[in-house]
Chains A and B, each alone.
Chain A
Amino acid sequence: MTYVVTEACIKCKYMDCVEVCPVDCFYEGENMLVINPDECIDCGVCEPECPPNAILPDTEKDLEKWLELNRSLSTAWPNITRKGETPADADDFTDEKDKFEKYFSDKAALHT
């Protein structure tokens, strides 16, 4: 079992989850994070930290697409172990629908 980052993270990327993850299993894309399912230890500490409730246990329904995205992107994106700066307009996107179609990016985060 693992937790999975889902659509609600896109363009929000608060990264509160990163601060609490005991095994540093988050990976950072341009506008969202993902969890490496093989590294996640299913502790669930990140779930309530996420303001838009983007993190869900993989036991919930209809998460296959997101589980696969978390798996594949976590091998391509850089590991993130400390919270970075939340996008200034993050709050504008927390309630927005269909963020995957509108904004999804498979690009890795740009690190300076």
Chain B
Amino acid sequence: MNDVPEQVLPMEAVPLSIAGLGAGYGPDSPDVLRDFSIELQPGTITGLLGRNGSGKTTVMEVVLGLTFAGREGSVTMFGEGSQPPYWRREVSNRVGYVPQRFSGFGWLKVDACLALVSAHYDHWDYDLADRLRREWRLQNRRIGELPPGDRQKVAVLLAIGHRPDLLMLDEPVSSLDPSARRDFLAALVELNADQGQTVLLASHVTSDIERLATHIAILHRGRIACHAALDEIRDRLGVATLDTPPPLPPEKTFASHGNRYWIWDPHDGCLPANVRIEGTLLEDLFLAVTSK
């Protein structure tokens, strides 16, 4: 479509800012999130890591207004706050979301589904959607008859077809085969490179996050336990090959993996171990933070 309306919201606004968010399901239930705060800078890809049930999905659903679980705190998207974001057309046009499990449109064929959803957006990148469909070999069958992986591909197409400025992905590749996973991640990198898209990616696959993300956020016990640029973490996190563990204060954690050792401080985060960087660090860091 050529009649793209002028963006009302400033492009340079912070795509997503969450401050002191608390959430839980039901009045008597414990908090799923408490004092959850994070700010995503434009153009960054933030990998959100957390254990099962830690609240990754809740964060996304509360932020997007897909659930009423939010109890306190504030959410600001592109400088707009105080209301569920989906009430503002300007915000909706700039946000994409891939749920953990795609449901709906069971009897619709893929083409019809894409046509139905694309008709509601001010601008839809038909070339991108067609190209990804071809690359993913997505057949024009009824969505209810597609295997789960192909259904997830449809969800991804529906989320990125309007080229959103903020893309939130809730474990999007968990049901994709390795080939489709690689293609999807490549498309994500391309989108990010093309238009500086901001991405919040929740996943258990640390290797994917390590490959894609520019920033890492680890969610533990309802709040962000570690949030930093991946390069910064690499600089601060040390991996050493030592004969014996060094003596440590009791509040610090000494962790080992094989013959490698590193240190986690609950106040200062990852302490430099003054050694070279090698191997996969993110998984070790994740295990250290979430085992506390």
Report if A and B associate in a common complex: no
Residues of A that sit less than 8 Å from B by CB: none
Residues of B that sit less than 8 Å from A by CB: none
